[in-house]
Amino acid sequence: MNPTQIDPTPKTESRPEAPEMTGETRFAHTSQEKKRNENRRKAANYMKDLNRRNAVGDMLYMVGFWVEYVFVCIGRKLSAVGRGISDTVVNLLLIVLRPILLGIITLIEDLTGPFVRMISGIRHIHALPETLEHPEAGEIRAAKAKYLASGIKKYGIVVWNAITYILPAVAAAALVVMVRSALGLHFVLNVQVNGTNVGYVESEQVFENAREDVQSRINTAKRMLQASGTAVPDTQWDVYPTYSLSIGNQTMTESEIANAILRTASDEIINGTAVYVDDQLLYVTTEGDHLRRYLENIKAPFEDAMDSNVYTAFAHDIRLVDGVYLQESVSSYADVIQALNEGGGIHSYTAVEGDTVQSVVDTTGVSFDSLAQMNPDLLTLDQEIPEGTVVLTGASTAELIKVKVVRRDTETVAIPYDTQNSESDQYDFGKVVTLQDGVEGSEEITYETTMIDGTVTDRQAVAYNVLQAPTPKITVTGTKLKNGMVAKVGSGSFVWPVPGYKYVSRWMGNGHRGADICAAYGTPIIASDSGTIIAAGWHYSYGNYVEIDHGNGYRTLYGHMSSIAVTQGQAVSQGQTIGYVGSTGNSTGNHCHFEMSYNGALFSAYTLFAGM
């Protein structure tokens, strides 16, 4: 080839020949490629993950931004509403309080105005001499008088405004003082008879009682005169007391004012003692002291000064009242005694040789307690009584002066404990478990026993004192059935088992164990109380029958059913249908044979359902 000839083939840089690829070289080259590819893949995944994270971050940022923005808006709105409400409240308060504040300010100005003007006027009056060219005494006085007159004329309205506030306050204070003074006055009633002042009493009730007492004294005098055959005009001793309101004088009692009324109304009066029996004036005597001793002597045999638990009194309320009475009403002492003792006297027994308290009891028929009450020396039944000893055996049977002996005695009695029962499914149905034993308490009861004529007429408990409170017995009744059901223990209150019945053909008695309740075929029969079915099946006599254990000692049986609606072991509630009326077994006609028992003893349903 000509060296100068240009080779049309482009020249390329000469490269060394690639060495021949061996197996190890090829493996290394492939491994590097895999690493590069893995790195590229990781980089691509990282970029994808980075983009995803950026997107999530942007989303979270936007959510946070908008949530914050919403809350900021809500806060601004609430703040605006709060400011509006507060402004409204303040404006309302200003509307309400402004007149009050203005009124208070006006009141203060009106009350203080005269004093402010007065102080200002005094200051100007003192400064007047300095304003005159020739301050002579006469000229100064004239100037001051002129200034004072002009001030009064100019500011008189200010003084009047202050007076309009002061006068009502002064009037209110005066009213309070007057009311308190009036309430503090002690008002009484001034009693008068025919225009003459008799005395003063505390109340109208005292006056009415005294007037009734006066009328009673007058009626007694009329009755005594009529009993002696003397004619008594209806108008004789007419007394019409009146009263008027008065202030603070010494008052008199009912008896005192009654005496004063009689003294004023009549000159036919005498000092005496009236005998009131059950608040009715019966007799008047001039021997009041003797009569008191006589009555005390009647009670004396029944009294025991050494026993504070015994006291005596007359069976009728007898009162002796000293006072002024009409002469015609006075009875002699003997007549009064005879009238009081009319119908009896004091009964006694005179002991004979060999008498004992027991023999006196046997002879007289009076109990030992009664004898001991009237004869404190009698202590025991075997006590011997000396011959000739007078033993009191009874009070007088005279009605007006019967003596009652009241003995107060105390007895200690037991207080029964209550039983508190509950139900629990921890125990078998009907089983009663005692959690706490009951303990009786005790209390003292004070009785008052009243005896009249040796006979107990009344006995009352007048006081109670608990010494030991009872401890209740706490029990629990099981409700768990063997089949896992929980039953309810019967309440002990039963309902009629066949509400749709027609009549009861016969009750328990004469060998018949229950009540036959007649009803139409198929009429529902219900459980008379809640409990557990302990029998539900066939019996040669009862036919189809059901028996319920109510868990409290009671059991009921229902026989001759046409069909049974429950199974043995089932829990039933009161009123639940357990079967239907039929005539199975030993039966003639459709009816329900109903038996009831308590703790194994049959009893008739008639005792609970007598009206059926």
Q: What is the 3-state secondary structure (H, E, C) of 458-487?
A: EEEEEEEEEEECCECEEEEEEEECCCCCEC
Beta bridge partners, 516, equal: 506, 593
Strands 601-603 and 591-598: antiparallel
pLDDT at 523: 96
Predicted pLDDT at 29: 59
The C-alpha atoms of residue 212 and residue 595 are separated, in whole angstroms, by: 71
Question: Is the separation of the CB atoms in 547 and 534 below 8 Å?
Answer: yes
Consecutive 10-residue runs of the chain (612 residues): their mean pLDDT?
Answer: 43 46 56 75 72 72 79 86 86 81 76 73 73 70 74 71 76 81 78 88 91 86 75 72 84 89 82 89 88 85 81 89 85 85 75 89 81 81 89 72 88 92 84 91 92 83 92 88 70 91 93 94 95 93 94 93 94 94 94 94 92 83
pLDDT score at 8? 44
Cβ contacts of residue 458 below 8 Å, gap of 6+? 448, 449, 450
Q: What's the token pair of residue 104?
A: 């208070």
Task: List phi, psi (to 5°) of 201.
Answer: -125, 160
Do residues 414 and 442 make contact, with C-beta atoms less than 8 angstroms apart? yes
Give the type of residue at 540: Y
Query: What pLDDT shows up at residue 10?
Result: 44
**Residue 256 and residue 207 in contact, taking contact as beta carbons nearer than 8 Å:** no
Question: What domains can be seen in the chain, in order of their start residue?
Answer: 39-183 (no CATH), 190-340 (no CATH), 349-394 (3.10.350.10), 411-476 (2.20.230.10), 481-607 (2.70.70.10)
- Whole-prediction pTM: 0.43
Please give the pLDDT value at position 494.
Answer: 92
